[in-house]
Amino acid sequence: MLAAYGTFLCSYFIFRDYSDPYRFFARVVFVLGVFVLFGSLREFWRHPLFQVLAVYMLYMLLSGFWSKPFDWYLLGQKLTISVYLLSFIAITHFLIRRDDNWYQRMLQICVLVAAVAALTSLLVFYPENPSPGNRLSGIGSLTNPNEFSNVYGIFALLAMGFALQPRKLVCKVPFLLAIVVFICFAWFGQSRTAFVSMLLALLILISLMLKHRRVLYSVVLAVLTGTLAVMFPDLLEQALLRGLGLRPEIWTQIWTEAKAAPFAGHGLISMVSVDAGGQHFETVHNAYLQVFWQGGVIGLCLFLAVLAVAFRYAWMRGRHQGDYTVFCMLVFTTCIMMAGVDTLIARPRDQWMLFWFPLALLLAYQSKAPRPQIIEASGILT
């Protein structure tokens, strides 16, 4: 099961078709995990984070009944995806509870696989597609550079978490190099929100977890960023010239439509459809506005409650265990969702890694007995 789970986390880079990660999860991971689903749920269903998350998911599913046009098939799809999401959380909980050491090794392998995929994308794409006219397109099943950069941002935070653990330098180097590759991918992919959010989350993680070397790590990140800006000024100029693009016009239209159903929203299976700049869009490019449009004030309040509770317990984990990785994942995610990510209850795309994966980790870690440590020699505050 651990191997199948790890393959799924890397499926964004292994498979080529958009639907392949969904099929793999449904046919392999879910089938293997169905035997542990109810046992794991019994262990954490009383947790406040899971309870508010369950209420949010239930309300969003109920909103499908007042969607226009109503479609039983689409609602059934959302219900199926919700079951898969619960199973993803339950399987994560089971694997961590069963043997956290093996789970951490699996995550380390996934980080390195993601780094190799990102590096391969860099080496293959740019010799034939010079910048700044072309944005780096990653290898895998995701559909655009922003989605790839979002997923790589989560792996960058995992890599930094592993690099900041007390270990020999030779064991840190692969993770530090992986972080460099992920940052470069976001830069050459011209994913501005992901790039800035990644640097911000990494700096916060360094500041929270290091006592003596935080300045060194921060300077290295600053030097890397400065080097990219100096060596590839065209990309920086292109990013500044692009501005916000059509997002403000899209957001204005969506906000106007959302106000037509402010309390209950238009429903989970209603389709967003706006025209901006002579183009047709069916995405909002803002998760908060998407939730408001679909679920109204009620859905948005529940969604913000999920984030608030998650931040609280992620901070508590950092204070007790010295590991702020999940907390910084949530920082990264909340920033990304301001300019990207749409429906959260959807087939596996970047939102599974951005939103559901940190919550799954948090629920699994919260149900474990705390084992606080103090490691002064390494400079780690725990």
pLDDT higher than 50, residue 378: no
The DSSP code sequence of 161-208 is: HHHTSS--HHHHHHHHHHHHHHHHHHHHTT-HHHHHHHHHHHHHHHHH
pLDDT of residue 369: 45
**Pair of tokens at residue 237:** 């100029």
Is 64 in contact with 268 (CB distance < 8 Å)? yes
Residues 307-340 pLDDT 10s = 999 999 999 999 998 899 999 999 999 999 998 8
Task: Report d(CA 225, CA 122) in Å as an integer.
Answer: 17
Q: What is the mean pLDDT of residues 344-353?
A: 93
Q: CA angle at residue 176 from 348 to 364, to 5 degrees? A: 45
The H-or-E segment that residue 124 falls in is helix 100-125
**What is the DSSP track for 34-92?**
HHHHHHHHHHHTTSHHHHHHHHHHHHHHHHGGG-SS--HHHHHHHHHHHHHHHHHHHHH
pLDDT-derived band at 352 (thresholds 50, 70, 90) equals: very high
Q: Is residue 371 part of a domain?
A: no
pLDDT at 32 over 50: yes
Q: Is residue 378 part of a domain?
A: no
Q: Quote the pLDDT of residue 133.
A: 64
Residue 171 structure tokens:
């064991």
CB 317 within 8 A of CB 209: no
| 277 class by beta-carbon count within 10 Å (0-12 exposed, 13-18 middle, 19+ buried) | exposed
List beta partners, residue 380.
Answer: 210, 375
pLDDT given for residue 344 in this prediction: 93
C-alpha span between 139 and 77 (Å, rounded): 27
pLDDT in the model for residue 130: 63
Of the CA atoms within 13 Å of residue 163, those in its CB half-sphere come to: 23
Are the beta carbons of 94 and 160 closer than 8 angstroms? no
Q: Cα separation of 252 and 80, whole Å?
A: 32
Res. 377 pLDDT band, cuts 50 70 90: very low
State the pLDDT at residue 157: 97
- Write out pLDDT tens, residues 7-28: 999 999 999 898 999 999 999 9
Average pLDDT over residues 76-83: 96
Residue 246 is part of which domain span?
2-366
pLDDT in tens, 237-257: 877 777 677 788 888 899 989
Quick check: 118 and 139 in contact, CB under 8 A? Answer: no
Residue whose tokens read 């958009």: 18
pLDDT (mean) for 199-223 = 92
Asked, for residue 110, whether it belongs to a domain, the answer is yes
- What CA–CA distance (Å, rounded) separates 32 from 15? 20
Residue 373 reports pLDDT greater than 60: no
> Which pLDDT does position 379 carry in this prediction?
41
Q: How confident is the model at residue 50 (pLDDT cuts 50, 70, 90)?
A: very high
Q: What is the pLDDT of residues 106-158, one digit of tens each?
A: 999 999 999 999 999 999 887 776 655 678 888 899 988 999 999 999 999 99
Q: Is residue 377 a part of any domain in this protein?
A: no
User: For the segment 177-205, what is each residue's pLDDT rounded down to a tens digit?
Assistant: 999 999 999 999 888 899 999 999 999 99
Answer whether residue 55 shows pLDDT above 70: yes
Residue 62: inside a domain: yes
CA distances from 26 to 32, 53, 215 (A): 10, 22, 45
**C-alpha of 200 from chain center:** 15
- DSSP type of residue 369: P
Burial of 2 (0-12, 13-18, 19+ CB in 10 A): middle
- Listed in sequence order, the residues at least 6 apart from 337 whose beta carbon sits closer than 8 Å to its beta carbon are 286, 287, 288, 354, 355
The alpha carbon of residue 229 and the mean position of all alpha carbons in its chain are separated, in whole angstroms, by: 26
Is residue 105 scored above 90 in pLDDT? yes
Q: List the structure tokens of 382.
A: 């725990």
> What pLDDT is recorded for position 367?
66
Provide the β-strand partners of residue 280. Answer: 275
Nearest to 254 by CA among 246, 301, 67: 246
Residue 259, in any domain of the structure:
yes
Q: Which tens digit of pLDDT belongs to each residue from 283-311?
A: 888 999 999 999 999 999 999 999 999 99
Give the model's pLDDT for residue 131: 58
pLDDT, position 368: 60
Residue 325 covered by a domain: yes
Total of domains in the chain: 1
140 CB-near residues (< 8 Å, 6+ apart): 12, 13, 14, 15, 16, 117, 148
> For residue range 225-240, what is the model confidence (pLDDT) as tens digits?
999 999 888 888 877 7
For residue 375, is it within any domain? Answer: no
Taking alpha carbons only, the member of 158, 198, 153 closest to residue 174 is 158
CA–CA separation, 353 vs 329, rounded Å? 10
Q: What is the pLDDT of residues 168-179, one digit of tens each?
A: 888 899 999 999
pLDDT over 80 (residue 372): no
Spatial CB neighbours of 216, under 8 Å, sequence gap ≥ 6: none
214: confidence class by pLDDT, cuts 50, 70, 90: confident
What's the pTM? 0.92
Lookup result for tokens 């409650």: 305
